[in-house]
Amino acid sequence: MNKRQPNALQKMGLNSPAALALHLPVRYEDETQLWTISDALKQGRFQTVQTQGLVIRSQIAFRPKRQLIVTIEDDGAQLQMRWLHFYPSQQKQMAVGAHLRVRGDIRDGYAGPEMVHPNVRALEPNAPLPKSLTPVYAASVGVSQTVIRKAVSLALQDSSMKTWLAEILPRQLIQTALPEMEVMSLHDAVMYLHHPPANANTQQLLERTHAAWRRVQFEELLAQQISLKRAHSVRRGRRAPPFKKKKTASQTKPLSEKLLDSLPFELTGAQKRVWQEIDVDMNHSHPMNRLLQGDVGSGKTVIAALAAAKVIDGGFQVAIMAPTEILAEQHYLKLREWFEPLGVKMAWIAGSLKAKDKKMAQEQIESGAARLIIGTHAIIQEAVRFSGLGLAVIDEQHRFGVRQRLEIQQRVGSETFYCHQLMMTATPIPRTLSMTYYADLDSSVIDELPPGRKPIQTKIVKDARRAEIIAGLRDWLNQGQQAYWVCPLIEESEALQLQTAVDSHAELSEILTEFKVGLIHGRLKSEEKTQLMTDFKGGHIHLLVATTVIEVGVDVANASLMVIEHAERFGYAQIHQLRGRVGRGSADSVCILLYSEPLSLAAKERLQTLREVSDGFVIAERDLALRGPGELLGAKQSGDTMLRFVDLQRDAWLIEAAQTVSEQLLAEYPDLVQAHLARWIGSRTEFLKA
């Protein structure tokens, strides 16, 4: 082994026998069978075959590229093999007279049937065949299968392994969860997965539905369920400021009621219900940890404002954090409209703030002069210290990581108190996710849009009909409505050949001369962005050409048409969020998805689904099936997903079983729980503290 390899394995996180044992194969190669060369020539067209023979020719040819051609012979039959890339060492290994065992597929080459780049080993003709399938492991670049296989094999033989894989869980508990199959012991399951016998059911192994996989998956799920439940009870044991109404206090109305009175609208039934849930939660002296889900436009902001009012009334500060400066600023402007008349002092914190202003804001926050603090993640990045933070609201929470939620707890300004947390998302959490990664959060759902909203009509249009669309856009603007034109990229990118926002802006300004066309994108200074949004909101800009900076939260009621260029390049959730920017007023709203040919089958299906489905939950399910949970969990979190072997779609039933068994285990076998967690979660527990 050369010196670099142990390092490479460690970089992959394979730094202990335990980690290696759980580095389970992604697939297998069948080296347990040997074909004669003449059989291999026939069978090798349908499947990968292994055969062997003596090298009778080995030459470098130029046809026209330099290549190595080696022929082996056995029993009168010959097999030609070809390498377009090879090392001198390979050439040496395959010199005339060597005996080779080779594995590959047969295809028709320049001079008849051949194998291109087969796997080759120099082995004696009677060298024994392996009795088990050969594992293929996930590996990073530069780490060979040979190295990983050797390391895993050594780990499995390590003296610690018997103990490490010893049974912890009572068998009958697992049997309840997996009633259909014979339960394997964990040790047997792991051994089996690394080296399945030649006759193993390879389809079940590949699909990860084999009893051995089930055992490992169940262990993993159980650990996750248990740790979520424990995190939940740990949180229950913490203290947070309770905000019960004090009956004896002055006769003045609570701030939240004053706010409600000042609003130009009534809460919807769904809003009333979730506000009630949150209201009650914050009466408790343990921290609220609640996820507020509601489709785009369902009115989450006002709920956050009501929660803020309650906490401010109770003498504590509130921080509202949004993932982009545009969104944070919209919140700031809206909440200032609501809170300033009520005499609540606010502060604004964002990365772009001038040093002097930032310092001033920080001082106001630290002294407690500022009661409601709004901003981006700069709130936790900058040296912000609260005098007493009672509530943190995190909008579009999946854009933040768990670490950032931990961060905010450290700035609360009290050693003894935790703050309440309200997380908001317009991306609904599919059931399987809410049963796993989100299981320790309480959940509130706004499942009703404010009255008067009309459904957004979504149309799919080929880019070739662009001129027609622009003509329609002109009619639209002529009726006094406003519109968005969304483009995926801002600068020329030859590779993608996307039409740019800059180009589209130029084109649209030239055609729609009678209208004011604005351009907003991520590279603009934040004052420029603010100015643009203010102008658009005020109706001074009629058409806003934008990149996805407007993806979340932007709220301009008079904008009722959206054209999305190259819609085929966007994902489900992105388009759903984007089109939620229209349909906020009472006018009929339309979203036009422009696409360019050729359209992949997946993109076509996606666009059609988006046209037909407006329910965010359905879209989120499709998204999850397509992209896995990483995206929904947030970029920062996905690298740390605790479920390595479980597929949330495929194994949904197993999640339910694990949920039940975890409760039983916690109630009846508390000491086993500890051992089980140590094995499966180890050092990753900090992510559960958020």
What's at 408, amino acid-wise? Answer: I
Name the minimum Å distance from CB 306 to ligand ADP. 11
When asked if residue 426 is in the footprint of ligand ADP (CB under 6 A), the reply is yes
Nearest to 689 by CA among 265, 235, 308: 235
Q: What is the enclosing helix (H) or strand (E) of 101?
A: strand 99-104
Alpha-helical regions (H) of 1-119: 4-11, 17-21, 37-43, 88-93
Minimum CB distance to ligand ADP smaller for 44 or for 297: 297
Which listed residue (289, 301, 547, 548) binds ligand ADP by CB under 6 A? Answer: 301
| Dist CA 426 CA 165 (whole Å) | 42
Site stretch for Mg ion (CB under 5 A), options 399-407, 545-553, 643-651, 658-666: 545-553
When asked if residue 151 is in the footprint of ligand ADP (CB under 6 A), the reply is no
Q: Which two tokens stand for residue 92?
A: 């040496």
Residue 268 binds which entry of ligand ADP, Mg ion, none, CB below 5-8 Å type-dependent:
ligand ADP
State the residue for tokens 């509601």: 294
Residues 434-463 vs ligand ADP: string with x where CB under 6 A? ----------------x-------------
Footprint of Mg ion on 639-658 (CB under 5 A) = none
Minimum CB distance to ligand ADP smaller for 399 or for 584: 584
When asked if residue 268 is in the footprint of ligand ADP (CB under 6 A), the reply is yes
Minimum CB distance to ligand ADP smaller for 300 or for 529: 300
Name the minimum Å distance from CB 265 to ligand ADP. 4
Say which residues have a Cβ less than 8 Å from residue 536's Cβ, sequence separation at least 6.
482, 518, 544, 556, 559
The length of the chain is 690
Q: Please compute, for residue 277, the number of CA atoms within 13 A of its CA located in the half-sphere on the CB side.
A: 19
Footprint of ligand ADP on 583-602 (CB under 6 A) = 584
Name the minimum Å distance from CB 328 to ligand ADP. 13
Residue 648 CA from chain centroid, whole number = 13
Minimum CB distance to ligand ADP smaller for 297 or for 413: 297
Minimum CB distance to Mg ion smaller for 220 or for 551: 551
Helix (H, G, I), strand (E, B) or coil at 136: strand
Name the minimum Å distance from CB 550 to ligand ADP. 13
Site stretch for ligand ADP (CB under 6 A), options 147-155, 191-199, 261-269, 484-492: 261-269
Name the minimum Å distance from CB 344 to ligand ADP. 18
Minimum CB distance to ligand ADP smaller for 200 or for 302: 302
To the nearest 10°, the Cα dihedral for 192, 193, 194, 199? Answer: 60
Whether the CB-CB separation of 35 and 86 falls below 8 Å is answered with: no
Which listed residue (165, 169, 302, 549) binds ligand ADP by CB under 6 A? Answer: 302
When asked if residue 482 is in the footprint of ligand ADP (CB under 6 A), the reply is no
- Report the relative pairing of strands 317-321 and 389-394 from DSSP bridges: parallel
Name the minimum Å distance from CB 200 to ligand ADP. 51
Q: What does the buried/exposed string (b/e) look like for 327-347 if buried means 16 or more CB atoms within 10 Å of the residue's CB?
A: bbbbbbbebeebbeeeebebb
| Dist CA 287 CA 381 (whole Å) | 23
Name the minimum Å distance from CB 549 to Mg ion. 15
Minimum CB distance to ligand ADP smaller for 200 or for 305: 305
Which listed residue (17, 553, 580, 634) binds Mg ion by CB under 5 A? Answer: 553
When asked if residue 428 is in the footprint of ligand ADP (CB under 6 A), the reply is no
When asked if residue 297 is in the footprint of ligand ADP (CB under 6 A), the reply is yes
Minimum CB distance to ligand ADP smaller for 167 or for 266: 266
Alpha-helical regions (H) of 440-591: 466-478, 501-511, 526-537, 572-579
Site stretch for ligand ADP (CB under 6 A), options 103-111, 157-165, 238-246, 292-300: 292-300
- Report the relative pairing of strands 112-116 and 107-109 from DSSP bridges: antiparallel
| Dist CA 97 CA 488 (whole Å) | 60
Residue 291 binds which entry of ligand ADP, Mg ion, none, CB below 5-8 Å type-dependent:
none
Residue 472 binds which entry of Mg ion, ligand ADP, none, CB below 5-8 Å type-dependent:
none
Nearest to 253 by CA among 244, 242, 245: 245
What's at 37, amino acid-wise? Answer: I
When asked if residue 323 is in the footprint of Mg ion (CB under 5 A), the reply is no
Q: Which two tokens stand for residue 101?
A: 């065992």
Nearest to 224 by CA among 689, 643, 650: 643
Minimum CB distance to ligand ADP smaller for 426 or for 587: 426
When asked if residue 44 is in the footprint of ligand ADP (CB under 6 A), the reply is no
Footprint of ligand ADP on 173-212 (CB under 6 A) = none
Name the residue whose CB lies closest to ligand ADP.
299
Helix (H, G, I), strand (E, B) or coil at 457: strand
| Dist CA 486 CA 561 (whole Å) | 11
Say which residues have a Cβ less than 8 Å from residue 345's Cβ, sequence separation at least 6.
364, 369, 370, 371, 372
When asked if residue 323 is in the footprint of ligand ADP (CB under 6 A), the reply is no
Site stretch for ligand ADP (CB under 6 A), options 60-68, 162-170, 300-308, 646-654: 300-308
When asked if residue 662 is in the footprint of ligand ADP (CB under 6 A), the reply is no
Q: Which two tokens stand for residue 465?
A: 């009909």
Minimum CB distance to ligand ADP smaller for 287 or for 297: 297
Minimum CB distance to ligand ADP smaller for 271 or for 432: 271
Site stretch for ligand ADP (CB under 6 A), options 30-38, 91-99, 497-505, 551-559: 551-559
When asked if residue 317 is in the footprint of ligand ADP (CB under 6 A), the reply is no
Other Cβ atoms closer than 10 A to 293: 25
Q: Which two tokens stand for residue 452?
A: 């008067």
Q: How many angstroms separate the Cα of 43 from the Cα of each of 37, 99, 387?
A: 10, 22, 76
Binding site for ligand ADP (CB under 6 A): 265-268, 271, 294, 296-302, 426, 450, 553, 555, 557, 584
- Which residues form the interface with Mg ion (CB under 5 A)? 553
